[in-house]
Structure 1
């Protein structure tokens, strides 16, 4: 696989070269009944790279991708690697106007799409789509930084403000892949499920992680992901070994399953959790069966700014007795530090190390680590626990309140899977509203919650509660709890 970044992405290049040399006809990717070998994947990536360069995209520039999760998209991102072109996937939920606006703001040279974006035809990229050049682009080919050349960009979700663009360079991606190989030690030649939108960087682990382990990528079609039974059936039929999910997605996929039967029908070796806080209740129903079949469960942590995830914790039976599953210890070459620590040993987590990005697109360089706004504490054996996200102190009737502290307390109450505490405002003043996801099959009332919260100081007690079952709990396109949708909810129990 000849590539301009080959010298800097050794985990991918070494793995690709190995399989092409030893077993080029091994399956590299499958979607439905269509299977591509590593030889075919390499040839497609080279063909796409040549066509992009011939279309006028220059190595070092940034290209927006507007393509569905597919073999074609997998071939395209590898083609970008070959050509030395950075890619940024546009969220699939964006309409055409917002998609183009997003690409322009990120200073992309153009958009590669299988949809007609402009009256003109664009330049055809065989079996992929058409390249539409953006006249507004002012980007010149990037110069190598101390952390290498830019490989991809991802947009933050924007839940805490305007979305930002996070560029990840070859040095940061190499550190991530090296660290995951060393700490998670996923089996080689396994089948990996690609379940996430490429605009969510958990998919970087699914795609490049699979490639670095000589695996076969099993693609979950976008329409199938919305059907838990169909998703589960695909995992069984394809023999998926590596499943990477958010806790919300895990609950969704296993929601319809008979625990013993469902685990026996699977071929899982590893489940990697990321993207959300993992509560023990998520695992209670299936943990014993998964353990009996020697399935390893890892909880990981990391924002996009630290290249997908940068900590790991192998989950044990004892963890199910805790209020929250630890995020574990940092990867080699990463340093976790808590700042502004309170009397309970809780502080904001600051990340430093080889996986931390250089800075937001158009922003200043990161010089003193990345401040996550996530509140953590250290427990036994130096493991970290993430308690929640700090949005800063809120004033409620003159008292300073951190919503994550109330969330942590609520999640310690039996029959609660997850709690989100929002600050609402009315003509009578500000108050706390607690959105509660009730455990499957459990009975819980507002009265039960008020009684449990009577142990809290009055100013920490929610004034209103919204109780939702698992099937009503909103999840966004990234597989995470949709806090904006919860905020928009107007119904509740007083």
Structure 2
């Protein structure tokens, strides 16, 4: 269905619809009539084509369907023109806007003529023939082209009858009536409150104007090139909301800002890791010694230097040293699979690699054979003065960070110093970061969120706390670190913050916390309701920032309010001042206000491009057609958004298959390529299912039947790709389900069953603890059964589900940390660990089958006198022999009982529904 502006509800009564009317300029009316006469088509055909153009721009579709009102008397037989009654009918009209202007005019005329033959067909029949499910509307927009003998201002009625008022109502959310008065044309638009009807009239008038111009001068141009936006709205979207702001420094390098801070506060703490603390002067000196060594080895501007180091002070020293030497760092996280790291190393081809012991082990000797390898843990005895690289400018590269690639290989995004520096300068008026702030380096330094964390702290003289890998995986431990270190600026993906919220639900976060900056994936505002129930909306201030690596981390800024948590959309706010944002359709034209379009980003934050990928760079980094600046470019993000009436943006999703899970950008194509590399797999498709923290990857493969296929493929992917890219389930199919057009029907792919999970050979859980764990795992992971050798992560578990598991175990008196689950991921191993750590002993029930009398000492969960107990026993059929235990109702049960007793008519907890079927056949179906 075509749903312009996302309007889909066609069942309302029309009471909230507003209306606007305008007459078209006489000159435009005359031109349209002349073109219709010249081409031998009806004026109605031109109006239907123009309306189709409006709906196409408002829905993002090239093939549009909308309702058209038919007179009903053309095919009604002799005398129909004199018969009384309502003959009009509404039927769907489908138009394909893929040809030239003149060709689309003729095809529209033909479609309307063909539809007249069915003017008495019911809309229900059209719905059944369309293949569209019964609950889905065929269309949500309507065009009513009607002839009216009266002039636009003639409202004379019958003699003696006075017209007091008239109102036209429609159950459709968007309706346009074209009034043909013979010598003039009028437009009447009706729309729901979210869309002003005056705007609808303006779109239609502009579409008709563009159509008339094209028919006169360029009838062979593609119809999609016609303008629909009135000039005033076009200026608003392209210029007013993208007005140039002040310029920010473009001549300073990232490390030079750090060096300036060293001069201001040399003894202030710059870096904290576990029990180590480095002052700004100490950190600078360490980095300088290593930088001088890199310069001696030939590092110069735009030289790539890879760094593969665990989270530690040496990591920060290495990054600073690379920048100070004039080079650009390529971060390689040792926690990532070696195959991925080796591929990135080969693609970037750095001559020098900084690697500690973990980094060397992850990369392997073969990959490092052609490189000069330095260990940043041990810095050389060289001068600790700031090196001077005369030829270095802010237009040289600062880093290359690799993101997931659709072709099966990751791609390196090249970002310059100037683009990083302006990010902080442009956002500083909003935040006011200072030397009293404490930041966390929570994310992997191979994830671009770390750019914001790392250089944000050191740029403004704050303290940077490096979060150890084990603590980053445990929400409880991370919460403790936040409080101990007095963190004031916290950066989180929404998924990670959700886990943190759960861990501190009954505890207060540090009073010093000023900002929680959310980014990296789409935010579900409703997930923040629990937060706002216990926290002030400004202390700390939650901020949502949409961003993308190719536009230097962050793009927009939105301070969140409690009312946002009650909305369904994902608000991302307004652009960073030195960027431009356009929402464009598939043809590069701005979409109407409120319609969904692809986010295209321009301005000072746009990256240089992709390393060694000129064709992909040219495809995604395109010339900016709306800018007067020489060389201005746009980055086509592939993300979809809409403008809200106040100029703020709302994130909608992706226009391709790329997904974000737990903050990580993932190209399913990369996983598919890994799967198809296995000899058993003929073809593969990877989809993301679920929403929010429940989102997971499911792999569908064409392969021969194999009982161990899921386990085999999981091992294949895990050996090559990071943990967050490993599918939770592997579904084997003999062939793909196809659409009538022969394309893969993704909606017909089956949901994964228990066989799709990487089970081990089944062995039933043993003992009470394993049985309890198996039950919890099955509920949490949505699987039928869990064997004692199954792995929590192989069955689809991940770090966020691990937090939920810990909470459920605590309720049962079992103390365990997330780290232990990673160390003992199988059911039997975890049970053994828990058995050694169990610190709650459940007393045996004092009431046994042989008990003849119950006394207060047998009931530890409730305080009752002997008289109370005897009274209860008397009311239970069978007496003591039929009583297993006695305990108080929970508050919820108490409430249920109260409402049950209170209700005099019926029971509020029983819902009675009566259904009627018109035939036995329908009932059997």
Q: TM-score range by the shorter chain?
A: 0.7 to 0.9
CA contact (8 A) 1:66 1:112 kept: yes
Distance 1:124 1:377 in 2: 48
Q: Aligned residue for 2:354?
A: 112
- 1:60 aligned onto 2:315: no
Distance 1:473 1:363, change over 3 A: farther
1:1-400 alignment, distance < 5 Å: 8-9=251-252, 13-14=256-257, 16-17=259-260, 19-96=261-338, 98-115=340-357, 116=360, 117-118=364-365, 124-125=374-375, 127-128=377-378, 148-158=395-405, 161-259=408-506, 261-263=507-509, 265=510, 267-291=512-536, 294-340=539-585, 341=591, 345-364=595-614, 366-368=621-623, 369-391=634-656
Post-superposition CA distance 1:285-307 (Å, at most 9, x none): 12244426721111001110000
Residue 388 to residue 54, structure 1, CA distance change in 2 (3 Å):
same
Kindly state the Cα deviation for residue 468 of structure 1 after the two structures are TM-superposed.
Answer: 10
Quick one: distance in 1 between partners of 2:425 and 2:538?
Answer: 27
Query: Counterpart of 1:459?
Result: none
Give the Cα–Cα distance (whole angstroms) in 1 for the partners of residues 559 and 592 of structure 2. 28
Distance 2:279 2:524 in 1: 39
Query: Cα–Cα, structure 1 residues 159 and 428, in superposed 2: closer, same or farther, change >3 Å?
Result: closer
**Structure 1 residue 182 displacement after superposition:** 2.8
| The structure with more helix, counted as a fraction of residues | 2
CA distance change for structure 1 residues 343 and 27 in 2, over 3 Å: closer, same or farther?
A: closer
Cα distance in 2 between the residues matched to 1:181 and 1:343: 29
**Is the partner of 1:294 in helix, strand or coil?**
coil
Change over 3 Å in CA distance of 1:423–1:327 after alignment to 2: farther
List runs of 5+ in structure 1 lacking aligned partners.
Answer: 1-5, 131-140, 394-402, 436-442, 447-465, 475-494
**How has the CA–CA distance of structure 1 residues 110 and 381 changed in structure 2, closer, same or farther, with 3 Å as cutoff?**
same
Q: Which has the higher contact order (CA 8 A, sep 6+)?
A: 1
Q: CA deviation at 1:266?
A: 5.0
Aligned residues of 2:526 and 2:566 also touching (Cα < 8 A): no
- Residue equivalent to 2:383: none
**Is it true that 1:471 corresponds to 2:801 in the alignment?**
yes
Whether the 8 Å contact between 2:270 and 2:464 is mirrored in structure 1 is yes
Deviations 1:340-369 (A, max 9, x none): 148971111111110001211123353321
CA contact (8 A) 2:273 2:313 kept: yes
1:126–1:317 Cα change, 3 Å: closer
Distance 1:269 1:234, change over 3 A: same
Change (3 A) 1:111 1:16: closer
Counterpart contact for 1:51–1:125, Cα < 8 Å: no
RMSD of the alignment, in Å?
3.7
1:24-68, CA deviations, whole angstroms, 9 ceiling, x for partnerless residues? 111001011211001101111111101222344344310111101
Do the aligned residues in 2 keep the contact of 1:48 with 1:76 (CA within 8 Å)?
yes
Matches of 1:469 and 1:434, distance apart in 2: 23
User: How has the CA–CA distance of structure 1 residues 281 and 417 changed in structure 2, closer, same or farther, with 3 Å as cutoff?
Assistant: farther
Q: Structure 1 pair 467/210, CA: closer, same or farther in 2 (3 Å)?
A: closer
Distance in 2 (alpha carbons) for counterparts of 1:343 and 1:222: 44
Q: CA shift at 1:194, angstroms?
A: 0.5
Normalising by structure 2, we get a TM-score of: 0.41
Residues of 1 paired with 2:406 and 2:379: CA distance? 31
Distance in 1 separating the partners of 2:323 and 2:449:
18
CA distance in 2, matches of 1:15, 1:122: 27
Q: Who is 1:449 aligned against?
A: none
Secondary structure, counterpart of 1:370 in structure 2: strand
Q: Which has the larger radius of gyration?
A: 2
Deviating more after overlay: 364-373 vs 321-330:
364-373
- CA distance in 1 between counterparts of 2:322 and 2:594 reads 48
Alpha-carbon separation, structure 2, partners of 1:163 and 1:211: 29
